Amino acid sequence: MTMNRTIETDSQEAFIEEIEKVQDVLPKRIDANPKNVEKGLAKLVLTLVELIRKLLEKQAMRRIEGGSLSDEEIERIGQTLMKLENKMQELKEIFGLKDEELNLNLGPLGDLM
Amino acid sequence: MKIYAYGIIDSHNSLKEPIAGLEGKGIYNVSYRDIGITVSELNEETKEITDTYILEHERIVERLMEDFTVLPMRFLTIFNTKEDILSMAELYYEDFKDNLARLHNKVEFGMKVIWPADTIKQRIIDVYHKTKHNVSISTESPAKTFVKEKFQEHIIEKEFQEEANRCIAVVDDYFNKIACEKKLKRLQTENLLLNASYLVDKQRQNDFKQAFEQLKNTPGDLKFLFSGSWPCYNFVTLTKKVASFDYFNTEDMLNRLLAQQGFAKERNAV
């Protein structure tokens, strides 16, 4: 190497493990073939549904934190969030998708979730 | 015969000394106005891209940096014809000129930080349970119990994120005054607190290294990976984005090229 290079760590294995995790989050290219195109589409759709579900949940938690929800409203929100989560669980099982697969790489912006 | 590109340089002249490129092919400069694109020819048959190629690419970019300001191309930037290269240069010329001026006499350093996420989270949970909260949610129904659990997760996650921000600010403070520019990626995984790139003036490299020495000697449970100096891989910014000519420095381009070339192996980060 021609540059004045330093690479220094006292935890090489830990860093290798974490860097591999970052690289393994998503496939480098879309594997679109007739056998898995259905799963690929389901992954895309469910990712967007999961994003909306998380946003709803976050908004609800913020409102609870702000103290702006009544007891009845908390009950209704609880029921809605429970049903949404259960339905998502069912759909993930049907298409054989894991939680960590429901994400999108937005390039320079990082991952969607 | 394909053409493999290494980087954009601030010279349109031929290289003074011969430099061997990938597969031993000689590197030459494709000039456009007052800049150049350093390339070498690549066998059509090349299908296997190995770690050796990545290291070679890095070595060549560094060799070019001895003589020029270089905007390093991503590993595996391949063109079909010289005309394609010139089209790309014409399209991005203004951007290239701006970047060459901005990155003149600059190098890049990398800084990765791991923190003990599980321990931090457990500490936050313990504090949460000991603290009296303003919000009280009953557990008289499954729905309310569900909300209560979600609310607890929400508060713990919020505190976790705030703790991460505090910690990153402490680390960044060591380098902030020395670096010209920085790119901070936070919490790419729960444990990888920070993955940072800093752009540093060549004259201030030692200051930057000393800052790291100070940081690593501070007591705490953070782990560090410090690396550099590197070519400025993370600081080339293009304002123009045209899909059909997006040859430069993007993941999409790499994936597309990989697919076009039919390379069996995916790109590995340098």
User: What pLDDT score was predicted for residue A110?
Assistant: 63
Give me the residues of B, 179-238, that contact A with CB < 8 A: 185, 188-189, 191-192, 195, 205, 209, 212, 223-231
Is residue A80's pLDDT more than 90?
A: yes
**Interface touch A105/B59, C-beta < 8 Å:** no
Amino acid letter for position B62:
E
Task: Compute the C-alpha angle B150/B152/B153, nearest 5°.
Answer: 65
How far CA B226 is from CA of A5, A113, B108, B192, in Å, comes to 10, 27, 11, 14
Q: Which of residues 73-102 of B touch A (CB under 8 A)?
A: none
Across the interface, do A6 and B141 touch by the CB < 8 Å criterion? no
With a cut of 70, list the residues of chain B below it in pLDDT: 46-49, 134, 241-270
Q: Give the per-residue pLDDT at A104.
A: 74
Judge residue B127's burial from the number of C-beta atoms within 10 Å of its C-beta, 0-12 exposed, 13-18 middle, 19 or more buried.
exposed
Name the closest residue on chain B to residue A105, using Cα atoms: B251
> Distance between CA atoms of B60 and B270, rounded to whole angstroms?
13
B88-105 pLDDT, tens digit per residue, is 999 999 999 999 999 999
pLDDT value at residue B82: 94
Residue A22 tokens, joined:
């970052």
Model confidence at A2, pLDDT cuts 50, 70, 90, reads: low
Q: What is the percentage of chain A residues whose pLDDT exceeds 70?
A: 79
Question: Does residue A1 register a pLDDT over 70?
Answer: no
**Could you tell me which residue, B174 or A18, shows the higher pLDDT?**
B174
Quote the pLDDT of residue A108: 58
- pLDDT value of position B213: 95
pLDDT of residue B63: 92
CB atoms within 10 A of CB B52: 10
Specify the pLDDT at position B165. 97
Domains in chain B, start-ordered, CATH in brackets?
Answer: 2-103+236-261 (no CATH), 108-230 (3.30.70)
CB contact under 8 A, B223 and A64: no
- For chain A, the domains span 35-99
In this prediction the pTM is: 0.80
pLDDT at B93: 95
pLDDT at B245: 39
Q: Tell me the nearest-neighbour CA distance from B66 into chain A, angstroms.
A: 8
pLDDT the model gives residue A106: 65
Cβ contact, residue pair B147, A81, below 8 Å: yes
- Of B65, B192, B229, Cβ closest to residue A18: B192
Q: Do residues B108 and B229 lie in contact, with contact meaning Cβ atoms separated by under 8 Å?
A: yes
